[in-house]
Amino acid sequence: MRRLFVLLALCYSALADAFILDDGYLINGDEINASAIINLSPKADFIIDRFGSKSAVQFPFNRLKRMFAEHNIAIDSPHPIITFYYSRDIDMELIKEALIDRFTEAYPSININDIKIKPLSFSDIDNLTIAQVDISQNALRRSKGSFAVWFGANDAKVRRLFFSFEIEANLRLLQAAKQIERGTILSGENLIEVFADFDRMSSKPIDRSAFGKIAAKSRLNKGDIITDRSVVPLPDIRKNAQIMTELISNGVKISFIGVAQNDADIGELVRIKDQNKRVFTARVISKELARVE
């Protein structure tokens, strides 16, 4: 069985001292991330038998505890198995930056205080570099979860590793200031801004940039958080809106102000009623113009 010299952050004592395992090992100069690791100043070198696969080094905690006890050092951990993962040459800060970009894109108003990532799987990446960070839309809705990182070379994805993440953040949310009826345009007059810890979002929240561009999909109660599930975008032409209408007959163009009888977007058909209560079917050319066909 191959043996590895493990430089452990330990405080050696003639009497048994108790420590909680935390992050931070070095094995033969390579950084190791573990489920639990000692985090003290280095005082001694220990030899630990390596067993398991190349991808990880695992020790039942009781065995690890006995090995340290031989050196008069007592350790403690909530984990029955301590797993050491090689993470050589992985730029964790670059991965963090990519995650921050994804969360900021999903939630423009988010304020990220801290983000922690840990490897969940291992594969020797050699000289491969980070090619792509993949995180699902479902994972982006939570403050804790997992994601994948592809490593590659020459624009080719070669190997994929999985990581866990935990994000500490808060964000600005829009909340109904009063009861809002279906179809009401949402703006600063009926919404207020609140701050909340980011924990779990069932759907994407709406920010202030949407003011005047969305309407309530159904009735909203006071205090409801506004998300993309509770609103609909305003059509280019709303029912009962006035719109300039053109009618071309026998080479003569007649223009009049009509009233839209239904919602419609540019390119769609809309029914227009003129001042004599005649109804025409017209094509929406722009937000200001419809043309009778």
Q: Which two tokens stand for residue 292?
A: 């009778």
Last residue of a domain, one of 63, 86, 109: 86
CA distance linking residue 127 with residue 91, whole number of Å = 12
pLDDT for 208 equals 85
CA distance linking residue 85 with residue 124, whole number of Å = 10
Q: How many domains does the chain have?
A: 4
pLDDT for 126 equals 67
Pair 8, 45 in one domain: yes
Which CATH number goes with the domain that contains 247?
2.30.30.760
Pair 52, 108 in one domain: no
Last residue of a domain, one of 168, 198, 224: 168
pLDDT for 122 equals 62
Higher pLDDT among residues 40 and 132, named by residue? 132
E strands, the chain, are 3-8, 18-20, 25-27, 30-34, 44-49, 56-60, 74-76, 81-86, 110-119, 129-134, 144-153, 156-176, 191-197, 214-216, 231-233, 242-249, 252-260, 269-273, 279-284, 289-292
Pair 75, 110 in one domain: no
Pair 37, 97 in one domain: no
pLDDT for 42 equals 38
Split at pLDDT 50, 70, 90, the class of 33 is: very low
pLDDT for 1 equals 25
pLDDT for 53 equals 40
Q: Model's pTM, two decimal places?
A: 0.58
Pair 19, 80 in one domain: yes
- In what helix (H) or strand (E) does residue 68 lie, and over which residues does it extend? helix 61-69
Pair 176, 108 in one domain: no
Closest CA to 17 of 78, 70, 73: 73
Q: Residue 77: is its pLDDT beyond 60?
A: yes
Q: Which two tokens stand for residue 289?
A: 């113009």
Residue 259 structural domain: 242-292
Torsions phi, psi of 130, nearest 5? -65, 125
| Residues in the chain, total | 293
What are the tens digits of pLDDT across the range 175-231? 999 999 998 999 989 999 999 999 888 888 888 888 888 999 999 999 999 988 899
Last residue of a domain, one of 86, 115, 142: 86
Pair 9, 81 in one domain: yes
Pair 58, 37 in one domain: yes
Pair 82, 14 in one domain: yes
Q: Residue 34: is its pLDDT beyond 80?
A: no
Residue 205 sits at the vertex; the CA angle it makes with 200 and 208, to the nearest 5 degrees, is: 145
